[in-house]
Amino acid sequence: MSCRSARGLLLGVLRWSNAAPARSARPLASRPAGLTLDVSVPRTYSPRGFPRPSAKQLAAAEVHADQGARLFVTMLFVARANGRMELAPLYGTFTPDGTPTLIDTEGRTYEGGTDDFRAHNDLFGADDEITYNRVLETGRPDGATRLVTTPGHTRPDQLPRYVSGGVALAAALGGTLLLARRARQAAAEPTVSAEPTADTAATPVTEVADATPVANTADATRIAPATDTVDGTDDTDSTDGTDTTSTTDNPDATDAT
């Protein structure tokens, strides 16, 4: 028998059992005060096939239910992602008004009904499918029977994760750009300081040194023409370095010789 045929058969049994006449509530010997296991709600299966609630489930039902609330149990038809099919009991407490509180097999409670159960349960995955009576959503056991098939676990909202990831990425990118900018500025600082400033441009040290031709002054002294000292002063010939004295106008110089 294929998985599709088996699933159709189980769904048919589930619908037939929901159409069965209501049975009276069966009290539990170990039930908390004011709680009754009501197998007629949602009348999914006969009492013979229901497992008894554990001590954890009864304790959770007592804490989360008011006096007079009814403890009920129903079966979830589960189609696993690997193709395996199973039935899983789910307990809950009905109150006159409001959403029923669901209790799983581990004793964990879900006060938000099926939405809370699908969002936080550890029994099923997002790829598993569960089929249940909508009485779990409405909290009205005397309402019409409607089977609902949904994923066993809602996928988490990825928007907060995407937003936080985008903020972290933007911060990392901004820090990287800031570090790169500082590195470029540090690398450019030596080149900027080597350029002449206004003060250094106004004082050209190299050009002043070139404007003082020391060597040219010495050359000009060597090639200067001899000066005739008519009045008896020394006439120096810079070519051979000897002094030439003219005594033409000095008669005393001849007599002395």
The full set of domain ranges for the chain reads 3-151
Nearest residue to 61 (alpha-carbon basis) of 25, 27, 99, 103:
103
Tokens read off for 99: 């959403």
Q: How far apart are CA 214 and CA 220, in angstroms?
A: 10
Q: How do residues 135-186 score in pLDDT, each as one tens digit?
A: 777 666 566 667 888 898 887 654 556 567 777 778 887 788 778 888 877 7
Distance from chain centroid for Cα 234? 101
Q: Answer whether 103's CB lies under 8 Å from 109's CB.
A: yes
The SS3 assignment for 131 reads: strand
Q: How far apart are CA 43 and CA 17, in angstroms?
A: 7
Q: Tell me the pairing of strands 129-133 and 70-79.
A: antiparallel
pLDDT of res. 229: 46
For the chain, which ranges sit under pLDDT 50?
Answer: 18-35, 39-47, 158, 192, 200-201, 208-209, 211, 217-218, 220-221, 223-224, 229-230, 232-251, 253-257
Q: Answer whether 234's CB lies under 8 Å from 243's CB.
A: yes
Tokens read off for 234: 């020394």
Q: Is the pTM of this model over 0.85?
A: no
Nearest residue to 141 (alpha-carbon basis) of 49, 74, 66:
74
Q: Answer whether 213's CB lies under 8 Å from 201's CB.
A: no
